[in-house]
Structure 1
């Protein structure tokens, strides 16, 4: 299969890049300390209203463009390049894809139009105390006598969890694992912003104490959630490729202009080798991410393997590129004023957020040795 972008995808990439370069969101590091930063409301309204990016993967009947994970990967790669601080990833890549795959038409009619228009921000709360997506779900759901459900438990490392209008929460119920919709203003819901390593991606802890919720779908949703997790793995990988490519571009630009001993440092063999190696790694990561973006459109073993491989490789590539970028910049790369450290923070944060590369490889080993059956 071809991993090159087609004409429409390339035009989408150019459109998003022009917009993000014009807004220059990556040039505004947090003023002081490390903590969650609020997103730019004007940028969000333009992303959703003018460009229609929030409706990218929402079916057309709900006001979206009806495109797939491959196009979402194109957008996320550009957003990763600029570290765009917005709830796009949580709303579109996490909650939007979950709702689009849930098969619950009333739920889709209720919430997907708001996501498509940008009027509703949302997120997916799956991880608990250990931070892993594959760990057993301990948050409990109790069906109420008069109808409806209530949730009790704690979710951790929820992306944009302290500002999202809607939270999709996984919980254990009598017939397996279910997905539940919880409004951000629901009684019994406590949201606490965490001191995160990456100030451009806020995380929160969600506590639920008999919090009323609406169940999405019916029966055990484990298989549907596994497919959603593969979609998220592919989305994260695409974003990581954008960040790694930005680190490479910054390092090369600095090596061309920074002089030492009367010549650009890029003329030194050691620096040339670093940049050449990074180029190979970034291009390999891009190929893996694009293949995963194409594969996860059809859930199954191939999608699970492609997403896992891309996630593991792109995580390590981004972290390596961010470290080498700082190394090539030298002393200025370690300062708070330079944006190089923000890429390293994003790289380490995204590497750990949904499972480490080591955990991904262990999952892939179980998947392949089980004869193609999901672990």
Structure 2
């Protein structure tokens, strides 16, 4: 049997937990394990079909795959298990975190003990036919000889179906590209630059890194904070403003989105800690003029680390001017960030505890961090 480049159509559903995330995660993994996700339908909301339960979110997808049908089915079952679902033979319909069904495998008609394609009941279910008709209106059912528009018109299922504003993506790069701008923030030594670099390389993003190493006032500030705090904060603000204006507004046709290892608001957070009252009042006025002009991130990620680990990581990276940073200074910075996020409800902010994670050497930890960003965004938008 020739299986190279076969188009398979799948149905996806969920009515437990963060439903949109379970669907989106499944699409990411299908694109990675099964082939290329070519099309994704809009997302529909429907009542539970055949049992009492919470409303479902449903979608369909087209996947170009070289896997044989039985192997593709095994990938679907594996993804269901990873989402916490166990199929129990004879248990009937029940709520589930993830439901994946193979609807078509090209024009193949197959019946075995474990797999029937086309799916034997797809023509009876409006929540399958409508998203399927959205992405494949003129594809014909190989056994019934009708396309999906006709099957939808003939379907006797009158279960209400509501189109949602949610949008699902074929892969992570498309998802983050839709966000446009992601800022990765954190305390000194939290790993924000490392994570931003990894995301830029992995997801084809334009990378903006803070140019702190070129600041001539930084080593002097750590030696004599009272004397050099004001020129340090002003120079940081001017440099950050210039960088954001230039780099976030200048389009790069070869990159999918922008990721930075800081947000310009950090200028106000640090200045509040380092400056005296009168200096800070003047600084805040200057900051206000600049802040309204810069681009704001669509997703603001804060990497949380315990103070003890921050000190350890600062020591290990060995920058001379960072030696002797006191723990209470780091704790003041941490408090400043949390105050900012708490007082900025319009900000799409996410705190990720990376204390037990090593996203550099453990790929699963890196994937977990990205998943938290995806889950947070979908839950907020849903």
Larger Rg: 2
TM-score of the two chains, using structure 2 as the length reference: 0.27
Greater helix fraction, Structure 1 or Structure 2: 1
TM-score of the two chains, using structure 1 as the length reference: 0.28
